[in-house]
Amino acid sequence: MTAQDRDARSWTLGRAVDAYLDEVAAQAARGDLSDNTHAAYAADLRELADILGEGTPLGGITGPDLDDAITRHRATPDRRHTRAPAPAAPKAADSVERFRASVRRFFTRAAVLGWIGRSPVEDMAARRRPAKPALSEHRRALTRAQTRALLDHGAGDPSPDSPAHNPLYARDRFVLHALAVLGVRVSPLCAANISDIDSPAANQGSAATWRFVTKGRKAMSLPVPAPLAELRDAYLATRPGAAGDDPLIATRNGNRATPRDIERILDRAHQRVLAADPSNARALTPHALRHTAATLMLADGWDVKIVKGLLGHSNLATTSKYLDEIPGELEAAVRDHSAKLAHGNLGNQT
């Protein structure tokens, strides 16, 4: 028996999970991983240790053991968004796949570090990650007509005499435009303070700038187009006394809005569009509006590198995952390209 074999036999599952999560915590502290990713790994691997037993020898865990752990994880009710005494919801497929991925990464790293001789992941019944399914309809980009209908009708009516009156019209209108026009993620939107968006005057006459922290905990500045800045100002005018450190997006009671509050805004917006323009109404999520912003930018001829910068991505491969083909856009682009080619109007090519 080699020294490496003897050392591998000394690792228990609990000890290995602790050591691995120390590595993950260090990566999060450096900004290489987000806090949410760190928390997800910790939750998944602590659950794995609870299922299989912290004192279980790491080298004795087999592929079938991991298959059983995933089955037991899937059978555990999901109580993350449930308030007692309501029944817990079943595990979502994304939650199960995230657990599987956490387990896979953990044992792959354990094998690299020599804690085990061979990763049991190789012997799992579902060894390979299943092909990623197509985005569900409510997560895909909206068409131009659907986007226009959402921005026109989604915030309701500001008039108190209207049956579609929305007392939070100015806020909801700004939120819808921030998500669908700039493609801002919902978490930075909720975390933003009023002072995070400066005014053109404070920025020496140029466009307003929105400063926030991206998913990878990196600081980023985003130019805010004048129409969106005007919507922001109109919204803040409805909040007299609000100061720079107050939340940018506030609830009716003045509290900082949460991602769930934003989802409720979108749910109500969908119902309003359904009443005003049913042919262009569609259920959606904040992520669908991020897809929408990226897709429409490219359809309008924006350079993919600029779109990448606006979305805060570190590489183009990530940006490509957010793009959907809007019906008719591809055909229109080909027709436009063909017309330019036929008339010799493609500009200077390098």
Do 333 and 208 lie in a common domain? yes
The verdict on residue 345 lying in a domain is no
All residues at 6 or more sequence positions from 154 whose CB lies less than 8 Å from its CB, including other chains: 172, 173, 176, 266, 269, 270, 272, 273
Q: What is the pLDDT of residue 348?
A: 42
Q: Three-state DSSP class for 78?
A: strand
Do 146 and 119 lie in a common domain? no
* pTM metric for this prediction: 0.56
Do 115 and 177 lie in a common domain? no
The verdict on residue 349 lying in a domain is no
Q: What is the pLDDT of residue 323?
A: 57
Q: What is the pLDDT of residue 238?
A: 93
In our burial notation (b when 16+ CB lie closer than 10 A, e otherwise), range 36-71 reads ebbebbbebbebbbebbeeebebbebebebbbebbe
Residue ranges making up the domain that contains 83: 3-123
Q: What is the pLDDT of residue 334?
A: 42
Q: What is the pLDDT of residue 132?
A: 46
Q: What is the pLDDT of residue 304?
A: 66
Do 111 and 149 lie in a common domain? no
Count CA within 13 A, CB hemisphere, residue 311: 31
The verdict on residue 173 lying in a domain is yes
First to last CA, the chain: 63
Q: Three-state DSSP class for 167?
A: coil
The verdict on residue 344 lying in a domain is no
> In the listed set 96, 123, 150, which residue is the last one of a domain according to the structure?
123
Do 113 and 231 lie in a common domain? no
Q: What is the pLDDT of residue 38?
A: 86
Do 230 and 145 lie in a common domain? yes
Short-list 210, 215, 166, 209, CA closest to 186? 215
The verdict on residue 348 lying in a domain is no
Do 181 and 326 lie in a common domain? yes
Alpha-carbon gap, residue 264 to 175, rounded angstroms: 12
Alpha-carbon gap, residue 65 to 336, rounded angstroms: 57
CATH code (residue 70): 1.10.150.130
Q: What is the pLDDT of residue 29?
A: 85
Q: What is the pLDDT of residue 173?
A: 96
**Count of domains observed in the chain:** 2
Alpha-carbon gap, residue 114 to 5, rounded angstroms: 8
Do 104 and 40 lie in a common domain? yes
Do 73 and 153 lie in a common domain? no
Q: Which residues of the chain have pLDDT under 70?
A: 1-9, 78-91, 126-139, 199-207, 212-218, 299-350
pLDDT one-digit tens code per residue, 81-121: 444 444 555 667 778 888 888 898 899 899 888 899 889 98
Short-list 179, 184, 135, 132, CA closest to 325? 135
- Residue 149 parent element (H or E): helix 144-153
Q: What is the pLDDT of residue 339?
A: 46
The verdict on residue 218 lying in a domain is yes
**10 Å Cβ neighbour count for 1?**
7
> In the listed set 99, 123, 147, which residue is the last one of a domain according to the structure?
123
Q: Would strands 219-224 and 208-213 be described as parallel, antiparallel, or unpaired?
A: antiparallel
Contact 278, 308 (CB under 8 A): no
Degrees to nearest 5, angle at CA 325 with 323 and 331: 140
